[in-house]
Amino acid sequence: KNEVEQSPQNLTAQEGEFITINCSYSVGISALHWLQQHPGGGIVSLFMLSSGKKKHGRLIATINIQEKHSSLHITASHPRDSAVYICAVRFSHDMRFGAGTRLTVKP
């Protein structure tokens, strides 16, 4: 069983919809990252969080340490949000990655 599980694997939405991507993990962590990867391959870090909630523009990330669960929300989704979103957990110097959620937002 993968230490980091993401759902859904694929997600298609209409422009303007509210998006939620979920991440569950099975190890004790020091921090959790939400990453965005566009088709070219490069990865951009969206959030790093160890508790509570963070907001940046239309993106919101939450984490529940007790339940070992995090969510990434996108409000008023736009076609430019189409990308793969990856959850990664950090413990000590190690990082473990989920398989990613491929989001497609249609106009």
Partner 1 sequence: EAGVVQSPRYKIIEKKQPVAFWCNPISGHNTLYWYLQNLGQGPELLIRYENEEAVDDSQLPKDRFSAERLKGVDSTLKIQPAELGDSAVYLCASSLGSAEAFFGQGTRLTVV
Binding region for partner 1 (CB under 8 A) = 4, 30-31, 33, 35, 40-45, 48, 86, 88, 90, 92-95, 97-100
Could you tell me the smallest distance in angstroms from the CB atom of residue 76 to partner 1? 27
CA distances from 7 to 24, 25, 92, 94 (A): 9, 12, 25, 22
Q: Which is nearer to partner 1, 7 or 14 (CB)?
A: 7
Residue type, 4: V
Could you tell me the smallest distance in angstroms from the CB atom of residue 16 to partner 1? 28
Q: Give the whole-angstrom CA distance, residue 103 versus residue 62.
A: 19
Q: Which is nearer to partner 1, 39 or 107 (CB)?
A: 39
